[in-house]
Amino acid sequence: MNTKFYYGSGSPFSWAVWLVLEHKQIAYELIVMSLQSGELKEADFLSINPHGKVPVIVDADFSLWESLAIIEYLEERYPEYSVFPSNIRERAVARRIAAETHTYLYPALRRLLELTLFRSSGNGNPAEIKLSLKDLGEQLDYFENQLQSQYCVSDLSLADFTLYPLLALIKRLEAKQPQHSVTALIGPKLTTFMQNIEQLTYFDKTTPPHWKG
């Protein structure tokens, strides 16, 4: 039986898992969940993830949530086309960068999105937006300086698959609200990094469906 993949369009954590599933050529059934309709908080879904969030994978009778744990599980269950570098130190750095995207970059971006894109009408306080842009810029500078090669470490890894979707969300904000010039915060190495990910053969398949067209 295929692994079931519960996904939300535009969710960066879901996107990371999707990229890993594709990279590892794992057979899966994509189940697109709405982030807005309330279905994530219904009993059926809460029985597979008590937090009521995506992504979740269900492998036979085993249900797993939290994208980083899912990626680790997929790697151990399907070792082919590894997303973990073979070198022990690089593997540790890739894990560290993946954790840092969740702990530092996502909260900075989330704050800005809550002041802009995620609001039902009008933007938030301009002074708060300015501060939020500054915080996000500092985070992006950090990741810019971490990039060692065309990817976060020498091989394509979970670090890249967790970092990319957050950068893509920044580009999405730019497309929707160019007045913040938010992509100007993305440095040249990160810009090239994004292009490298966008050239992966399976990349287009994983673009959030509601961003297309």
Which residues here bind ligand GSH, judged by CB under 6 A?
8, 11-13, 35, 40, 52-55, 66-68
Least Cα distance to 3 among 45, 54, 56 occurs for 56
CA distances from 206 to 45, 71, 95, 165, 202 (A): 23, 16, 22, 10, 7
Residue 28 Cβ vs ligand GSH, minimum distance, rounded to whole Å: 16
Nearer to ligand GSH, 10 or 187 (CB): 10
Which are the contacts of 14, defined by CB distance < 8 A and separation ≥ 6? 7, 8, 54, 55, 67
Nearer to ligand GSH, 40 or 197 (CB): 40
Nearer to ligand GSH, 52 or 124 (CB): 52
Distance CA 178, CA 102 (A): 25
Backbone angles phi, psi at 24, to 5 degrees: -85, 0
Residue 139 Cβ vs ligand GSH, minimum distance, rounded to whole Å: 17
Which are the contacts of 117, defined by CB distance < 8 A and separation ≥ 6? 172, 173, 176, 177
Nearer to ligand GSH, 47 or 86 (CB): 47
Nearer to ligand GSH, 66 or 135 (CB): 66
Residue 13 Cβ vs ligand GSH, minimum distance, rounded to whole Å: 4
Residue 87 Cβ vs ligand GSH, minimum distance, rounded to whole Å: 25
